[in-house]
Amino acid sequence: MRKDIFVLVEHRKGEIRDITFELLTKARNMVQTGGFVYAIVLAKNGDNFIEKLKSEAHRILCIENEKLEHFHSDYYQQVLGSIITDRKPLLTLFGQTSYTMDIAPSLAVQLDLPIVMGCIEFEIGDDKIFTINQVYGGKIHTRFSFPSKNGGIISIQPGTFTAEQGDLSAEIERITFSFEEITNKKFIQFVEAVAGEIDITQAEKIVAIGRGIKEKDNLQIIEDFAESIGAVVACSRPIVDAGWLPKERQVGSSGKTVKPKLYIALGISGDFQHLIGMRNADTIIAVNKDPNAPIFGIADYGIVDDLLKIVPALKKKIMEKCEARSA
């Protein structure tokens, strides 16, 4: 019976990405009696990664080769296809990232395995694996299942699970692998996104806007409010798509992940893709006309009303308190 859970260690420029530790935490909590959590390291030199993973998995499989210095979907698929076929894990977990979207579907086809992408939860049943996804901006949850006897592949949205420090002592196994040469694809370089004049990831206070702002002209109201409380202005994807704010201000899975002390969400419904980018803020205040907006599910404080009515009133109260303190 299959019991082991594989987690692909995703790394970039020598650093393990957060999603890896989130998946390893979940895997440790889900692995059944008699099963092991495997961290799969593909790299030119895996020593640095192994040191950081020793407490996170029961076993670490390390495949080292110059071809694995940077992510290469074909070389990754060759290795993963081989070890999954040989070791027969119950599940192989990936983060829902650009890497995964490049490799996981083709790997599933190669191995004839079921695959569910972009999950926010999964459960291991007696003979089935159950997964949960969100659709329609997080307003509907869908539940899928597939037989567990042959194993399967799942990708998880980054930020879904909280990473916790493990207390294991992993066995290390280094594997030698003979690659089939790939000549039609090669790594050229990393192209870094332009940071922009304001780095929202460093802000302690953020005022974020969504569709509820209605018109671009209303941006000035928000900017004035943000300035009055010493915050920076960020946004959800529709605002960027409309061209009202630059991409550098976008929060969410296709934008930036932020962890400010205060996050005020104005007119943001709270798609899962947005929530995973800000859910770890210390305090979340949400203002939305829809009482069923998903954002209220994680907000510490919620106001069901029109943001254009609430923001001026909120600013007035803040200014009154500031004046009273300075008097």
CATH number at residue 32: 3.40.50.620
Instruction: Say whether pLDDT at 325 is over 70.
Output: no
Q: Are strands 301-304 and 283-288 parallel, antiparallel or unpaired?
A: parallel
Query: Do 38 and 84 share a domain, yes or no?
Result: yes
What's the pLDDT band for 276 if we cut at 50, 70, 90? confident
> Quick one: 100 and 227 in the same domain?
no
Question: 114 with 124: CB under 8 angstroms?
Answer: no
The 10s digit of each residue's pLDDT in 289-320 is 999 999 999 999 999 999 999 998 888 877 77
Task: Give CA–CA dist 177/170, Å, rounded.
Answer: 21
**Position 302 in a domain:** yes
> Taking 80 as the threshold, does the pLDDT of residue 152 lie above it?
yes
State residue 327's pLDDT score: 56
Q: How many CA atoms lie within 13 A of 162 on its CB side?
A: 4
Range 36-48 average pLDDT: 96
Pairing of strands 59-64, 171-175: parallel
Mean pLDDT, the chain, whole residue set? 91
Q: Are residues 68 and 159 in the same domain?
A: yes
Question: Which pLDDT score is estimated for 313?
Answer: 87
Token digits for 198? 């304001």
Q: Are 9 and 76 in contact (CB under 8 A)?
A: no
Residue closest to 251 by CA, chosen among 226, 269, 277: 277
Report the predicted TM-score, pTM, of the whole model to 2 decimal places: 0.77
In the chain, alpha helices (H): 18-30, 47-53, 73-87, 98-111, 219-229, 237-241, 272-275, 307-326
Measured between its terminal Cα atoms, the distance across the chain in Å is 73
Structural domain containing residue 16: 5-175
Q: What is the mean pLDDT of residues 23-40?
A: 93
The tokens 């005022």 sit on which residue? 207
Same domain? 24 vs 118:
yes
Cβ-defined contacts of 253-258 (< 8 Å, 24+) = 253/96, 253/157, 253/158, 253/159, 253/277, 256/200, 256/201, 257/158, 257/159, 257/201, 258/200, 258/201, 258/203, 258/206, 258/234
pLDDT tens-digit readout, 206-265: 999 999 999 999 999 999 999 988 999 999 999 999 999 999 999 987 788 888 999 999
Q: Is 36 a residue whose pLDDT tops 90?
A: yes
Confidence check: pLDDT of 47 > 70: yes
pLDDT tens-digit readout, 61-79: 999 999 999 999 999 999 9
**189 within domain boundaries:** no
Contact 235, 196 (CB under 8 A): no
- Our measurement of the distance from residue 199's CA atom to the centroid of its chain's CA atoms, rounded to an integer in Å, reads 19
On whether both 159 and 206 belong to a single domain, the answer is no
Q: Residues 56, 140: one domain?
A: yes
pLDDT at 3 over 80: yes
Q: For 107-138, write each residue's pLDDT tens digit.
A: 999 999 999 998 989 999 989 999 998 877 66
Assess whether 81 and 143 both reside in one domain: yes
Per-residue pLDDT reduced to its tens digit, 184-204: 888 888 776 655 568 898 899
138 and 216 inside one domain: no
Both 144 and 205 in a single domain?
no
Calpha distance 97→271 (Å, rounded): 17
Q: What angle do CA 314, 316, 321 make, to 5 degrees?
A: 95
Q: Identify whether residues 320 and 210 lie together within a single domain.
A: yes
pLDDT, residue 316, reads: 82
Closest CA to 254 of 98, 105, 104, 138: 98
In-domain check, residue 185: no
pLDDT band at 205 (very low <50, low <70, confident <90, very high): very high
Residues 161 and 32 in one domain: yes
Q: Quick one: 162 and 205 in the same domain?
A: no
Q: Count the neighbouring beta carbons within 10 Å of the beta carbon of residue 211.
A: 15
pLDDT tier at 33, thresholds 50, 70, 90:
confident
Q: Is residue 149 part of a domain?
A: yes
Nearest CA among 131, 128, 126 for reference residue 154: 131
**pLDDT given at position 185:** 85
Q: Look at residue 191 and tell me if it is in a domain.
A: no
Q: What would the mean pLDDT of 132-148 be, rounded to a whole number?
A: 84
Residue with structure tokens 């640095």? Answer: 48
CATH number at residue 312: 3.40.50.1220
pLDDT value of position 97: 87
Residue 95, strand partner residues: 156
- The domain tally of the chain equals 2
pLDDT at 159: 80
- Read off the pLDDT of each residue in 255-282 and give the average, rounded to a whole number: 90
Listed residue (206, 216, 290) closest to 250, CA to CA: 206
User: Helices 307-326 and 219-229 meet at what angle, rounded to 10?
Assistant: 30
